[in-house]
């Protein structure tokens, strides 16, 4: 990289007079609108037409689409690249299930998204989503990928009562998320116009004196660098699953945990906010209830084996466990009890018996991705085959009787003796009667899923709201431009992916985020490449 040069105030003023405009970080611009900023630079360390901040699926797709339109692209990624024996770059796309929503009708898909958002996502944004997502299959095949057609296992959307539902179809990428990201990574590597810079976190957006985004202040090898974006910067950093302060102040229930990328700490959200962006959908996630234990990062997947029931802190069953709107189920546990000033369902407990445990591990860690050999899959955590390790370390609670299990739960610091053996016993006995009658008189659970909890020993997993990712971030318009509080686009700034996702309340079904990033990665690229270079 070229060395930085000294830059005097006189040089700066000459540069501004020449029409370049004062270069400043977003924070300095909005705090002082100063004519001279400490980050002013006479020389850029790197430059490209389009600069993407974050190398997940959204960053990859945006860069690929930009390159195919004749532009150059740089992707800044804060995580390190993989080694031969360790997956170190772990975007959510890579650990996803590889499911993609592929609507069949653009207008109906837009109608469904608008209904899902409860009006929080404007019609024109929903229409852009519908227009581009109906082309998902075609785009993936063009990239050399393969999707498995919808079948009885993949299903459709999760909200059949909302308009436009019939247009929602779901397909599975062959090889799931790790293979999907490998396909994207292979396509990035094929394009000489794209450069990926690992271990180079974007720190702040750089603006000129007119508020135009012209680059990114980043960090590389322990020093600050300036990366020039001739046409646009696209924020593709992912969400804020691992920023406790942001989650506490924005999400509906607390605490919540995620099995997504531990590197998702809200970087892009803060960068956009400093640049004056409006924020939206901050109280929305794609989530269910998942197991989490202190010191574990990320959380686990699963926790709901066949025959499980969910009970609150007191041992009371509170919901229809199956079928459920799996990717919006987290809302069910966010009830707040004002009388006792608590979330009685955070945590809740998945309770099941030995028959359920014998079917296999009740939980596991998300996959991290394939090693460079393209065959060896690594995961964050592998549950032991007989669950002995998890019982030993206190994750999986085991009681020879329901009374013993209830006492173990009550001893947990987050339960604080709320659970009583009698209430849990009564709850299980009532549920087992429903199983015998093949009819759930309390919550109308589907009869095929009614498996009794009666074979000792009995088990419980502590469960929290959470899942793969958050949805909130900078608000964007139908062109994928980041907008301010008045709806005015921030010049030359775009966003794509789960950072400021279009999902404003309910999540359509598995594959919603992969579907969206294909659509808005392309939208962002098309509009970014069409920008007139600022200099």
Average pLDDT of the segment spanning 47-63: 98
In a shared domain, residues 453 and 367 = yes
Tell me how many helices (H) and strands (E) the chain has: 15, 24
Q: Looking at the domain assignment, is residue 531 inside a domain?
A: yes
Alpha-carbon span 473 to 117, nearest angstrom: 15
State the residue range of the domain holding 205: 1-90+178-244+257-284+472-502+514-535
Q: Return the H-helix or E-strand segment holding 218.
A: strand 213-220
| 270 shares a domain with 342 | no
CB atoms within 10 A of CB 163: 13
Same-domain status, 71 and 190? yes
95: enclosing H helix or E strand: helix 92-95
**The pTM is what?**
0.92
Domain co-membership, 305 together with 395: yes
What gap in Å lies between CA 427 and CA 20, rounded to an integer? 71
Q: Is 165 domain-assigned?
A: no
376 shares its domain with 344:
yes
Structure tokens belonging to residue 216:
């990114």
User: Considering the domain boundaries, does residue 311 fall inside one?
Assistant: yes
On whether residue 6 sits in a domain, the answer given is yes
Q: What is the mean pLDDT of residues 468-489?
A: 98
Whether 137 maps to a domain, the answer reads no
- Ranges 33-37, 172-176, 187-191, 337-341: which has the least confidence: 33-37
How far from chain centre, in Å, is Cα 417? 34
Residue 29 has pLDDT above 50, yes or no: no
Decide if pLDDT at 7 tops 70: no
Whether the pLDDT of residue 28 is over 70: the answer is no
Please give the full DSSP string across 282-337, using - where no structure is assigned: TT-EEEEEEE--TT-SS--EE---TT-EEE-TTS-B-S--SS--TTBGGGGG---B
Is 480 found in the same domain as 376?
no
Residue 337, token pair as written in the block:
């009890």
In three-state secondary structure terms, 40 is coil
Tell me whether residue 77 is in a domain. yes
Residues 317 and 434 placed together within one structural domain of the fold: yes
SS (H, E, C) 310-324: EECCCCCECCCCCCC
Q: How many domains would you assign to the chain?
A: 2
pLDDT bin (cut points 50, 70, 90) of residue 10 is very low
Q: How does pLDDT run across 407-452, given as a tens digit for each residue? A: 999 999 999 999 999 999 999 999 999 999 999 999 999 999 999 9
262 and 376 in a common domain:
no
Question: Do 322 and 188 reside in the same domain of the chain?
Answer: no
The pLDDT > 90 percentage for the chain reads 89
Query: Does residue 133 fall inside a structural domain?
Result: no
The answer on 83 and 18 residing in a single domain is yes
DSSP labels, 67-87: HHTT--EEEE-SSPPPBTTB-
Task: Please check whether residue 108 lies inside any domain of the structure.
Answer: no
Distance of alpha carbon 81 from alpha carbon 89, whole angstroms: 6
Nearest C-alpha neighbor of 184 from the set 260, 89, 271, 272: 89
CA atoms within 13 Å, Cβ hemisphere of 393: 11
> Domain of 302: which CATH number?
3.90.700.10
What is the tens place of the pLDDT at every residue in 68-115? 999 999 999 999 999 999 999 999 999 999 999 999 999 999 999 999
CATH of the domain at 479: 3.50.50.60
């Amino acid at each position: 990289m070229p060395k930085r040069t000294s830059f005097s105030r006189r040089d700066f003023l000459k540069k501004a007079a020449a029409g370049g405009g004062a270069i400043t970080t977003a924070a300095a611009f909005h705090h002082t609108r100063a004519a001279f900023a400490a980050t002013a630079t006479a020389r850029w360390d790197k430059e490209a037409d389009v600069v993407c901040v974050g190398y997940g699926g959204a960053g990859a797709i945006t860069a690929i689409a930009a390159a195919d339109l004749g532009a150059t692209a740089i992707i800044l990624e804060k995580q390190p690249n993989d080694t031969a024996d360790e997956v170190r770059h772990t975007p959510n796309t890579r650990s996803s299930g590889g499911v993609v929503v592929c609507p069949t009708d653009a207008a109906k898909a837009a109608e469904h998204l608008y209904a899902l958002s409860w009006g929080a996502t404007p019609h024109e944004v929903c229409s852009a989503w519908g227009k581009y997502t109906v082309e998902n299959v075609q785009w993936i095949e063009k990239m050399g990928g393969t999707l498995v057609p919808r079948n009885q296992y993949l299903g459709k959307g999760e909200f059949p009562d909302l308009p436009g539902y019939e247009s929602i179809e779901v397909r599975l990428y062959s090889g799931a998320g790790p293979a999907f990201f490998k396909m994207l990574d292979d396509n990035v590597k094929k394009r000489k116009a794209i450069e990926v810079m690992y271990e180079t976190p974007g720190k702040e957006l750089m603006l000129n004196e007119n508020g135009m985004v012209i680059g990114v202040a980043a960090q590389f090898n322990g020093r600050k660098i300036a990366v020039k974006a001739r046409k646009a910067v696209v924020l593709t950093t992912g969400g804020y699953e691992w920023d406790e302060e942001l989650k506490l102040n924005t999400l509906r229930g607390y605490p919540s945990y995620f099995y997504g990328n531990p590197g998702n700490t809200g970087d892009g959200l803060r960068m956009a906010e400093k640049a004056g962006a409006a924020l939206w959908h901050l109280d929305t996630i794609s989530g269910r209830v998942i197991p989490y234990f202190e010191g574990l990062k990320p959380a686990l997947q699963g926790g709901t084996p066949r025959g499980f029931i969910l009970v609150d802190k007191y041992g009371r069953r509170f919901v229809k466990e199956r079928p459920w709107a799996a990717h919006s189920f987290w809302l069910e546990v966010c009830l707040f009890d004002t009388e006792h000033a608590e979330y009685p369902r955070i945590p809740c407990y998945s309770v099941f018996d030995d028959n359920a445990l014998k079917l296999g591990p009740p939980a596991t860690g998300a996959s991290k991705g394939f090693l460079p050999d393209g065959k060896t899959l690594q995961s964050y955590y592998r549950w032991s085959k007989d669950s002995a390790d998890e019982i030993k370390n206190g994750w999986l609670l085991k009681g020879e009787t329901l009374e013993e299990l209830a006492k173990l739960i009550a001893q947990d610091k987050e339960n604080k003796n709320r659970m009583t053996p009698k209430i849990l016993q009564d709850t299980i006995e009532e549920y087992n009667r429903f199983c015998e009658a093949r009819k759930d008189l309390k919550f109308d659970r589907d009869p095929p899923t009614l498996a009794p909890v009666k074979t000792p020993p009995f088990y419980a997993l502590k469960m929290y709201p959470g899942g793969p990712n958050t949805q909130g971030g900078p608000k964007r318009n139908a062109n994928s431009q980041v907008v301010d509080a008045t709806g005015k686009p921030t010049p030359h700034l775009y966003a794509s992916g789960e950072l400021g996702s279009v999902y404003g309340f309910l999540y359509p079904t598995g594959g919603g985020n992969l579907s969206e990033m294909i659509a808005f990665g392309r939208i962002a690229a098309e509009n970014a490449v069409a920008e007139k270079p600022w200099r």
